[in-house]
Structure formats: C-alpha cells, structure tokens
Homo-oligomer: A and B are copies of this chain.
Amino acid sequence: MNKKVTVGQQILSLNEKYALENKQIFAEGGKLCLNMISSPGSGKTSILTRTIIDLRGKLTIGVIEGDVQTDLDAERIRATQAAAIQIETNGACHLSAAQVNNALYKLPVSELDLVVIENVGNLVCPSAFELGENAKVVVLSVAEGDDKPIKYPSIFSKAKVMLINKIDLLHAVDFDIERASKDALKLNKGIKIFPVSAKSGEGMGNWYDWLCESVKSVKG
C-alpha cells in the first residue's frame, strides 16, 4: 500500500540551502556581500584590487575568488594585504553556495565590512546560482562590445550594478555606452550603471560611493 506523505515546507535544493545559510551569516554579521559576474578578462580582479587600495581605512574588504584553475587572482588580491580565499572549480563553470559556505569559515568575516565573491569568468552560468549575496554586480568591458546586454540578458536582468569597465579604451573600440545602458535598463529598470576604468581610476568614485552607502545600509 502506498503511504501518502504531505510535504508542508518547500523542499530546497542543496545550493539553495547553503545560499540561505550564507545569507544568514551576512545578515547576522551586518556584512554586505556582492557576487561579481562577467566574461573572462573584463577586469573584475583589477577593479577589486584598486577598490581595496583606494578604500583602505574606510572599508575592510575580503574576497572569495572563483577560478576554473590557478590561484593567480587570490595572489593579486593578497598583494593588497586584503584577505582572499581561492576556490578552484577544476573545470566547473560557476561557484556553488556550498563552496562559498566553506570559504566563509576560512575568511575573517567578523573583521570585514564587505565580502566580494569574484565568480568564475562566465557571462552565462553563474547568474543561475544564488550564493547568498545581497546583490549581483555585472562587469562589462568596452572591448567586449555594446551588444552584450541583449545577447546575455539573464545576468543583466538580475544585477543591481553594471560596471562598464576599461573606458580608457573607448577611443580604440566601437562601444556605445548609451546603447549598452539603454538595453540594460530595458531588462532591469533599477540597475545602477557606472562607467569606470580600473586602470586610470576614472569614474571609480561613483562605484565607491555606492559601495560605502550599501555597506552602511546593511549595518542597520
């Protein structure tokens, strides 16, 4: 005979379970957590190293680095004296909430204002996996072309911030900031858009202001 089982609560996937646990860690500690997503080579690590150095004394930032292979990016972050934990996915195309959960126990979270998760360089898969973050930040380099928001809509629909990086290259490439911004805003009315150059520093102040305000708002 079959036994009828009533399921009174939503069944969570393993990823959702860990994402919720991570979210609680951030909420209880009053920490901001950002999940940074982009194509390979858009400049996520360069944005982070400059941000850490420029905001020294104002914000203490820790980084969880996701890469298919190597710990080169964590080394670049540690060279700024910030704490960084490298996760090598060994071929996997995105970070999971369980991997982030594990890394959180190795980071000195209580001493941090902000935890940034630098996801695997991939504009497609990482947007489908919640890691427990407060917000996703998408980075698009001007060298990639202004058609990326409509061609890869998922991450541009979900991100709270879009950093248009490498604006120091604007003279040498065909990239229309207005077109990329309009397309992103069509997908996502509330998205904040900051054109920046992690190399020259241009525009980084607007990003820093948003970061400091967002850190303050989760501290309550």
A154 touching B40 in the complex, CB below 8 Å, given contacts A124-B120, A166-B143, A172-B168: no
**A152 adjacent to chain B (CB < 8 Å):** yes
CB proximity to B under 8 Å, residues A135-153: 141, 143-145, 147-148, 150-153
**A39 adjacent to chain B (CB < 8 Å):** yes
CA distance A91 to B152 in the complex (A): 8
CA distance A68 to B68 in the complex (A): 22
Give per-residue flags for A168-186: 1 if the beta carbon is below 8 A from chain B beta carbons, else 0.
1100110000000000000
Residues in chain A within 8 A of chain B (CB atoms): 39-42, 67-70, 72, 91, 93, 120-125, 128, 141, 143-145, 147-148, 150-154, 166, 168-169, 172-173
A120–chain B nearest beta-carbon distance, Å? 7
Count of this chain's copies in the oligomeric assembly: 2
17 contacts between A and B (CB under 8 A): A39-B123, A39-B144, A40-B144, A41-B143, A41-B148, A42-B144, A67-B151, A68-B152, A69-B152, A93-B125, A121-B123, A121-B124, A122-B123, A122-B124, A125-B125, A143-B144, A168-B172
Whether A122 and B93, one on each chain, are in contact in the complex, defined by CB atoms closer than 8 angstroms, is: yes
A143 touching B169 in the complex, CB below 8 Å, given contacts A41-B148, A151-B67: yes
CA distance A55 to B123 in the complex (A): 32
CA distance A91 to B168 in the complex (A): 31
In the complex, which residue of chain B has the Cβ closest to the Cβ of A123? B40
Whether A69 and B153, one on each chain, are in contact in the complex, defined by CB atoms closer than 8 angstroms, is: yes
Chain B residues with CB below 8 A from A125, complex form: 93, 122, 124-125
Q: Which 9 A-B pairs have the closest CB atoms?
A: A41-B144, A143-B143, A93-B124, A39-B40, A39-B39, A41-B145, A40-B123, A93-B125, A70-B151
